[in-house]
Amino acid sequence: MRNRRVLTSALVVAALAVAAPALGAGKGSYSDPSGDAKSGPDVTRVKVAKLKTGWLQFTLTVANRKSNIQVGDVVYVAVDSDRKPSTGINVTHSTDPKQQGPDYAFTMYYAGGSSLTSGGFRLVTGQQPKSIAKPSTIKETAKAGTFTIAVSPKLFRPPKRFSFFVWAYTNPSSSGNLDFAPNTGVYAYTTPKK
């Protein structure tokens, strides 16, 4: 796996202790190989749901966290809302052209106990990431084997089509602690027709 730098944990903002909303309107499911992250979270499936309430929900299945999540686990969802790699920010310093233009990043960090912290960031070419999360605009949950990030339409109103990728880690500087899903390229999501 390529070695890439990631956004610093300084991007993580205040914790929100609320549950994710129920599933509804449109759904997409994507897979990623297991075994490509040894000690960091090993993402094997990503489900996306556009909920009836307008919320956008990302649910990650993590193969090596079936018994419990670990202190220091971090998850990022990078969304290229205009599907143009030339806009946004290459937040992971990737050499993969398709992963170079996310316009938004949504994060979750587990600090132990019941302490989950989430954040949302607007990514604009030539600028530092700007925190856009406000109270009750991101809901996160983490339990054995699953991490969920749900984003309010007040924070991000997704277009009908967008691309995204996920990266998860515990300590990005150690070998085997970083996982990208997909490993190369991006997933493409289209809101299903009603």
Residue at 1 is within a domain: no
pLDDT in tens, 97-124: 899 999 999 999 988 877 889 999 999 9
Alpha-carbon distance values, 101 to 36, 56, 98, 121 (Å): 24, 20, 7, 13
Residue at 44 is within a domain: yes
State the residue range of the domain holding 73: 9-189
Nearest of 176, 181, 141, 166 to residue 40 by alpha carbon: 176
Say how many domains are in the chain.
Answer: 1
Question: How crowded is the C-beta side of 103, counted as CA atoms within 13 Å?
Answer: 15
Arithmetic mean of pLDDT over the chain = 83
Neighbours of 33 (CB within 10 A): 14
Rounded to 5°, angle at Cα 17 from 32 and 191 = 45
Residue at 100 is within a domain: yes
pLDDT above 90 for 21:
no
Assign residue 163 the CATH number of its domain. Answer: 2.60.40
Question: How crowded is the C-beta side of 133, counted as CA atoms within 13 Å?
Answer: 25
Strand partners for 28: 48
Residue at 53 is within a domain: yes
Residue at 23 is within a domain: yes
pLDDT in tens, 110-169: 888 778 899 999 999 999 999 999 889 999 998 889 999 999 999 999 999 999 999 999
- Beta strands, E only, the chain: 26-31, 43-50, 56-62, 74-80, 104-112, 115-122, 130-131, 138-143, 146-151, 161-169, 178-181, 187-190
**At residue 187, what is the residue type?**
Y
Cα dihedral sign, 10-13-14-18: negative
pLDDT in tens, 27-47: 699 999 999 888 889 999 999
Residue at 194 is within a domain: no
Q: What is the pTM of this model?
A: 0.83
Residue at 4 is within a domain: no
Residue at 67 is within a domain: yes
pLDDT above 80 for 171:
no
pLDDT above 80 for 25:
no
Joined tokens for residue 47? 């489900």
